[in-house]
Amino acid sequence: MAKNRDSWASRLGVILAVAGSAVGLGNFLRFPVQAVQNGGGAFMIPYFISLLLLGIPLMWVEWTLGRYGGGFGHGTAPGIFHSIWRKNRFIKYFGVIGIFGPLAIFVYYTYIESWTLGFGVLGLLGKMKTAALHKDTMQAFLSNYQTNLWPSYLFFLLTFFANMYVIFHGVSKGIERFSRWAMPTLLIMALVLMIRVLTLGAPYPEHSDWNVLNGLGYLWNPDFSALLDPKVWLAAAGQIFFTLSVGIGVILTYASYLKKTHDVVLSGLTSVSTNEFIEVVIAGSIVIPAAFAFLGPMEIEGVAKSGAFNLGFVTMPMILNRFPWPQFFTGLWFLLLFLAGVTSSVSLVQPAIAFLEDEFNISRRKAVMIFAVVSFILTQPVVFWFSKGIVDEMDFWAGTVALVVFALIEVILFTWVFGMDNAWEEIHQGADLMVPRIYKFIMKYITPTLLLVILVSWLVQSKDIIFMTKVPPENRPFVLGTRLALLGSLLFLAILVNIAWRRREALAKAERSKEEEIDEK
């Protein structure tokens, strides 16, 4: 007999949890870099168009699919896809991506997330104050942190077990309870940083034009010629895809714990709005304006081109080191990133836990223990061989390609197989807000077309990654090993799905036989 499934304790709780899944390191690091590199304010035009045509439709699709599948006792994509298309015995295997993606992302995301905890503590203690005086010394500080097991491995262990602690306590008492205090705390910390940056003015009297207002202008003043570059549109669509956490499988799982009457239309919009407010308004007012005020217009180009990774762990400590109370603001910045990281990483765990609970009838305690052991083993190559290109490889296949493929499958399944009329009716079950009818056309035709364009474009642009043309010879065995490990994980999960369904069929057959025996008597 199936167990009673966990559920959210409140509507606010699930909204904060989904928003927490979306709000992560990319909001504060990736977004400012993408905006500056792709035309400044002009970037926001394709950004908001992608939000309307790609992000919001996919969010509604995933909320609705998850709630629908949860009604059949399924909390992950294999079961949810099977609920939509029961006549197709292969569709459940496509849903494996919705478990594989979060697991693979968790393996490397958690390690990087642990750096934010380590840097936060070290920043508060003033341990990086001297290193943050110069770019080279700060880069060396980061490299030493990555290569020395002490204290980096300690902070990794603390981060890993913090994630397991939250997930161990379940959906309502673990994820929801954590999100209810973590998200407001994260927001307050971000607002404190934003207000401090916006009140900086011009830090250097000799450079009066180096001020926050000009920094905001650098980020937001549009270069409309950039709109003619297809890469800008692709970058904007990619940022929307990443920032909302669509296509991973997490929202499907979170939504599976909703009741049938729960309003997915308004809840989906609320979670999107929360994420966009934090990304566009708050994150957009911290990093680039602060960098402009302290480093000036010449250096800001290098900041933008350095990428999100160096921006967060090299450039920002240097900038915050020039603030009044540098230790406080450095610690605040990294602990803000840590909270944002944990709200995202715990969501990556839940699909695998839900799969074990729902399809194998395993207790949560046992499911968490299994996941903890397996994922901990899988993280070790990332920790010890980080410099060998393992993370980039995992991020490309699991964190980029798999996401778009999965999103394309689920939107086609929902709008074409399930049927747009049925989908429209399902979306509005218990809804207080009507979705504009134009979205019937957008979901069925525009969104899948955009996803296909993104997938093909990314694959074409990533020829060097696919064929390893720029991978150093000494790193190729590690990259190939990573690919084999990812493929093996995908196949192993497919085998588990096969076993789970055979088990279900055997149990159903046994129950029918028992009922027939009772009828005969």
Do residues 212 and 290 lie in contact, with contact meaning Cβ atoms separated by under 8 Å? yes
Given this model, what pLDDT does residue 36 score? 83
Pick the residue with more confidence: 493 or 298? 493
Tell me how far apart the alpha carbons of residues 238 and 258 are, in angstroms, rounded to a whole number. Answer: 28
Q: Is the pLDDT of residue 344 over 70?
A: yes
What is the gyration radius of the CA atoms in the chain, in angstroms?
23
How far apart, in whole angstroms, are the C-alpha atoms of residue 134 and residue 138? 6
pLDDT at 304 over 90: no
What is the structure's pLDDT at 518?
73
The mean-pLDDT minimum among 117-126, 231-240, 303-312, 354-363 falls in 303-312
Stretch 498-512: mean pLDDT, rounded? 89
Predicted pLDDT of residue 147: 86
Q: In the chain, what percentage of residues exceed pLDDT 90?
A: 80
In the predicted model, is pLDDT for residue 303 greater than 80? Answer: no
The token pair at 384 is 């010890």
Q: pLDDT, tens digit, for every residue of 6-24?
A: 899 998 999 999 999 999 9
Q: What pLDDT sits at residue 510?
A: 84
The DSSP-derived string for 66-79 is: HHHHHTTT--SHHH
Name the CATH topology of 11-520.
Amino acid/polyamine transporter I (1.20.1740)
pLDDT reported for residue 210: 92
> pTM of the prediction?
0.95
Q: What is the pLDDT of residue 451?
A: 95
Q: Please give the mean pLDDT across all residues of the chain.
A: 93
**What is the mean pLDDT of the segment spanning 366-388?**
96
Provide the pLDDT confidence category of residue 443 given band limits of 50, 70 and 90.
very high
Mean pLDDT of 185-194: 97
CB 252 within 8 A of CB 77: yes
According to the model, what pLDDT value does residue 3 have? Answer: 60
Average pLDDT, stretch 385-397?
A: 93
Query: Average pLDDT, stretch 73-81?
Result: 96
Does residue 122 surpass a pLDDT of 90? yes
Mean pLDDT of 278-306: 87
Mean pLDDT confidence for 275-288: 93
- Ordered by start, the domain boundaries in the chain are 11-520
For 184, the token pair is: 């407001």
In this prediction, residue 1 has a pLDDT band, given cuts at 50, 70 and 90, of very low
- Cα distance between residue 126 and residue 271, in whole Å: 36
What integer pLDDT is reported at residue 309 of this predicted model? Answer: 80
CA distance 512 to 515: 5
Q: Are 58 and 246 in contact (CB under 8 A)?
A: yes
Residue 201's pLDDT is 82
Q: Does residue 2 come out as left (phi exceeding 0), alpha (psi in the -120 to 50 range) or beta?
A: beta
* pLDDT tops 80 at residue 221: yes
- pLDDT tops 70 at residue 268: yes
Q: Which tokens is 395 given?
A: 């991020």
